[in-house]
Chain A
Amino acid sequence: MRGDQINLQNIIARSATNEPSPQIRSGGVEQVTKLIDVSVCIGCKACQVACMEWNDLRDEVGECDGTYNAPQDLTPSSFEVMRFSEYENEEGDLEWLIRKDNCMHCAEPGCLKACPSPGAIVQYANGIVDFNSEHCIGCGYCVAGCPFDIPRISKKDNKAYKCTLCSDRVYHGLEPACVKSCPTGSIQFGTKEQMLDYGAHRVGKLKERGFDNAGIYDPAGVGGTHVVYVLQHADKPEIYSGLPKDPHISPTVELWKGVTKPLMSAVLGVSVLAGFFHYMTKGPKEEPEDDPDPDQAAAEREQDRHDEERRP
């Protein structure tokens, strides 16, 4: 990794902004990618602990829900969790599929598209999608906009949080904390090209071991992602605790992005003001009718995942 692969000013997309992004820099920046090889993961949660340590997060001491999942879901203080699922294949053989769930850093980020607050969500030239919390108004649109159900709103400060891909570490030429901590080499970090090459190598190895449907998860519906998985059963991503088979940005967000938001943005600064007034008068939970409803979207996705997990 080279330190110049991220430059905090080298932003290529910024939420709720029609101003062009900075243009003068060229070269020197490569797309970064984290690869998570599920077939090499032992679910030790070292990455989860490293994430909490690096980002100074301490979640609640929760409860056991009858699985190895703990915490059971992402929270403002858990940017990643391991999800364990027991899968019986067609032959009746058992597989324990363990997936590290965190922000996928989409090339076409639904959160950023949905966000009404200028600059609260940015995308760097290297592909990292980052939340700038000081600009976050806590409206929750990013939650609705995310096809992977990643961002979480904190009750403490009413701001959205998610994995930063350790943009601060990457800025200094380091790999993300989870990558650093992984004992088995399940989590790798490099340029997108390197990771796809390495992923192809791993897929080849898995096919030699009889996983005919092994493949890389880099879904086109969101323009590809800067977090990719190697899956033993890439034809059935949903068996990995409901990894969406064909993720895409929800139609309501596309509508909001495509019609409503430009109209509102016709008035200078209106989106800031809209967000501001929305927050001041109604609070974050009540949304205009044509806005995406984060709670409902999250509930629908939860139902989808529930259904997908139960599919054979």
Chain B
Amino acid sequence: MTNSWVDIRNANIVLSMGGNSAEAHPVGFRWVMQAKERSDAILISIDPRYNRTTAVADYHAWIRTGTDIAFLGGLISYLIESDRYNREYVEAYTDAAHLVREGFEFHDGLFTGYDEARHQYDKATWNFDLDEQGFARRDETLQHPRCVFQLMRRHYSRYSVEMVERICGMPQAKVLQLWDLLAQSAAPDKTMTILYALGWTQHSVGAQMIRTGAMVQLLLGNMGMPGGGVNALRGHSNIQGLTDIGLLSNLLTGYMTLPAAGAQDYRGYIQEKVRQPLLPNQVSYWKYYERFFVSTMKAFYGDAATVENDWCYHWLPKLSEPLYDVLYAVNDMTKGTMTGAICQGFNILAAFPNKAKVLDGLSKLRYLVIMDPLANETGEFWKNHGEFNDVDPSQIQTTVFRLPTSCFAEDDGSITNSSRWLQWHHRAVPPPGEAKTDNAILAGLFQRLQKLYQEEGGAFPEPILNLTWEYSDPAHPAAAELAQEYNGRALADIEDQGRIIRRKGELLNDFGDLRADGSTSCGCWIYSGAWTEQGNMMDRRDNSDPYDIGVTLGWAWAWPLNRRILYNRASARPDGTPWDPNRALIWWSGERWVGADVPDYPIAAAPEEDIKPFILSESGTGHFFASEWLGEGPFPEHYEPLESPIPNNPLHPQNPLAYHNPVARVFAEDRDTFGTFEEFPYAATTYRLTEHFHYWTTHVLLNAIVQPEKFVEIGEVLAGELGIAAGEKVRVRSKRGHIDAVAVVTKRLRPLQVDGRTVHQVGIPIHWGFTGVAKKAHLTNTLTPFVGDGNTQTPEFKSFLVNVEKL
């Protein structure tokens, strides 16, 4: 989230799109209802289904799954052409005036530089026109034909209301009604928040859907504003922490990235990562990358990391692929090139697409380690569970080790929520039976590995032998010790302008203390400030809100630097006064920035200095033009899901290369596992239900009672055509397999008119498997396609094709 859960209450318009917040986030949804109650906000729900959020929405529309970029791209065009955007904001705080270099073009669905054989782009032209000093040229009038604003305007001029209707299956009158409502937040005293979740993430164009939402918010002047922002509603309680702490295979902590195979030279790696300002006088905070990186390496390797050995840079793995994600791992298992796996809190058999392929991969492993509190499906993949998992155990040689872990209430630690708050929790009860904490299990594994390397040597032992392990109980690092490690310490006295600000051994106050000379250690730079010499900031529980704007700085601790709303400098006009006096967040006092939140900005920088509010970006601006940051191109473009219910992309009917995302993650061996709409005519989407949490709560009697049995949702019209009545059993097939389930026949799904065709959508909850206390069922991921987003490799769980038959 750029903002916070509580802040939703400040919105005038709540757009729920790419998510079903009432269903999946019922507790956080209270803030939506408070927005309605406190400020008479309107709630708009746009979704393939009329869902639980829609039940309390003021306006809603059905949309064909996977087409959100078309709706939002059309909105961008509508806002520009009808002059309903926040012009002052766009001019001052965005890259709209930047000029883009000659050579960058978009033609028939593809940007410049597409390599058809590699399914990748050469992004050389996707950049700004720089002057002699390396600064971006700008046209403050926004009239230059190569300025970002005009390029964007031209790009989305194709997204007419007629085109949006054809792609999304939403009647034009409905489209225009919603665009008119959303445009109201262009007023400086009106804000809109966007709430999204996996309904945007889990598409082959997921990252670009989210970006389109962000572009809309920039145009409307809603970034940095209370009640604004682009807000990812996280599913697992700690999934925000997962990315923060760098658990994706291409990341280091705090969103630093692992080097690619080509980056063997340390100085070259740093120079590529250090981002110098693209406009004069801007912060461009990634220019301090080396401070973060060196401090991380000191946390990893302590005294072994020195300036002479490039801080052990050469011990880090270098990526020969852009991302060794889970799809990649499963593919390698099936090929026999990955022979062992550890699933830590990960029920991969149920949670990853194309169950048959995952099953094949697991069956070829030599060993599989399961760390989980529950005896889940993955741990029993080798066992015959009748029709739901019809395998022959005698043909599977994988050795499965099950290591029972504790649950959250059985250990101390911090959980990072969607609002970026790190909230400390204390152990309530010890883990049951033989269960151990994840820390204890991993520590045990590490110590055994280290001992083997010590005794037997082995290839490349240094990173294992030199890893710092300074915990009072090496077999069980305490959560408090780990937290202090990620906060960081001074390894020598730290000086600032001749004054010692931190003594050797002291905990750091924040990432402003970090040094690139090896005198600081910090496990995760964005978490620096969470546990300081003042104590455990995450354990604070003061919920006072002195400005009555939903900002409680004494409650837990938020990264970065306890800032609760990111880019909050943009909540004030360029002159430092709030856009909306009734929604004042921070403002210029004449000497410094003051107000309810911690300024996300240099605190003493006067408005006249024209330091722009997006201090991490190289030009300080919010970006409509994404340069080389995303795989598909600098402006989001609508592409059809890999399995589409229509024969071409209505925007580019003649170009088969622009039918689907040209850089979607597809393995060659999966090309024949995709179905066509002739064989599988219905668009399917998967989702979660309030009553269950993934595949876990089907192990819990209370949850099983309130939602006992697998079902699929089918619209009344389709059910009528197929002769299916509510409560009857149906079989849902995709190219990859079938599931059986009870039919929920509903008015809440309707056929849509898409480009001259009638498209029915089928809703499939992900829950229920063959373990637990609820009714046993086929796993939903038997159906889903093995394809990933072009940037994140997140599987396309939200759009694929099925057929339905009555059993």
Contact = CB atoms under 8 A, between A and B. Distances in A.
Interface of A: 39-46, 48-49, 52-53, 58-68, 70-71, 78, 86, 88, 94-98, 183-185, 205, 208-209
A205 B29 CA distance: 19
B702 A58 contact: yes
A79 B307 CA distance: 69
B33 A40 contact: yes
A64 B26 contact: no
B30 A184 contact: yes
A86 B747 contact: yes
Nearest to B700: A49
Contacts of A70: 691, 705-708
A52 B59 CA distance: 34
Contacts of B708: 61-64, 70
A49 B702 contact: yes
Nearest to B50: A94
B705 A61 contact: yes
A94 B50 CA distance: 9
Top 7 A-B pairs, shortest CB-CB distance? A66-B726, A66-B727, A42-B22, A64-B709, A44-B26, A96-B55, A64-B742
B748 interface: yes
A178 to B, nearest CB: 13
Contacts of B30: 183-185
A43 B690 contact: yes
A61 B701 contact: yes
Nearest to B698: A61
Interface residues of B, number: 44
- Tell me if A's interface is mostly helix, strand, loop or mixed: loop
30 contacts: A40-B33, A42-B56, A42-B690, A43-B690, A44-B52, A48-B706, A49-B703, A52-B705, A53-B702, A58-B705, A60-B705, A61-B701, A61-B705, A62-B709, A63-B709, A64-B707, A64-B709, A64-B711, A64-B742, A66-B743, A67-B744, A68-B707, A70-B706, A70-B708, A78-B705, A94-B748, A96-B52, A183-B27, A184-B30, A184-B33
B748 A96 contact: yes
B727 A64 contact: yes
B37 interface: yes
A62 B728 contact: no
B376 interface: no
Interface in B704-720: 704-711
B197 interface: no
B727 to A, nearest CB: 3
Nearest to B28: A183
B102 interface: no
B775 interface: yes
B200 to A, nearest CB: 21
B726 A62 contact: no
Contacts of A53: 702
Nearest to A96: B55
Nearest to A52: B702
Contacts of B775: 61, 63
A71 B705 CA distance: 7
A10 to B, nearest CB: 34
Q: Which of B690, B703, B774: most chain A Cβ within 10 A?
A: B690
Interface string B96-107: 000000000000
B774 A40 contact: no
B26 A42 contact: yes
B791 to A, nearest CB: 32
A86 B749 CA distance: 11
A78 B708 CA distance: 14
A51 B702 CA distance: 10
Contact of A43 (B40, B52, B773): B52
B706 A49 contact: yes
A304 B650 CA distance: 51
A249 to B, nearest CB: 32
B519 interface: no
Contact of A42 (B53, B58, B728, B747): B53
Given A43-B690, A63-B775, A78-B705, 10 more contacts: A42-B22, A42-B53, A44-B690, A65-B742, A66-B743, A67-B726, A70-B708, A88-B747, A185-B33, A185-B37
A61 to B, nearest CB: 5
Interface string B768-782: 000001110000000
A66 B742 contact: yes
Given A64-B711, A94-B747, A39 B705 contact: no
A100 B742 CA distance: 24
Contacts of A97: 55
A250 B91 CA distance: 71
Interface in B24-75: 26-27, 29-30, 33-34, 37, 40, 50, 52-56, 58
Contacts of B691: 44-45, 70
B580 interface: no
Interface string B722-759: 00011110000000000000111111100000000000
Given A52-B702, A58-B702, A66 B745 contact: yes
A278 to B, nearest CB: 34
A45 B728 contact: no
Q: Which of A41, A45, A53, A58: most chain B Cβ within 10 A?
A: A45
A231 to B, nearest CB: 14
Contacts of A41: 55-56
A44 B727 CA distance: 21
Contact of A183 (B26, B726, B746): B26
B506 interface: no
Contacts of A60: 705
Contact of B705 (A43, A62, A65, A88): A62
Given A44-B52, A44-B690, A64 B744 contact: yes
Interface string B1-34: 0000000000000000000001100110110011
B540 to A, nearest CB: 24
Contacts of B40: 205, 208
Given A64-B709, A64-B744, A66-B728, A42 B702 contact: no
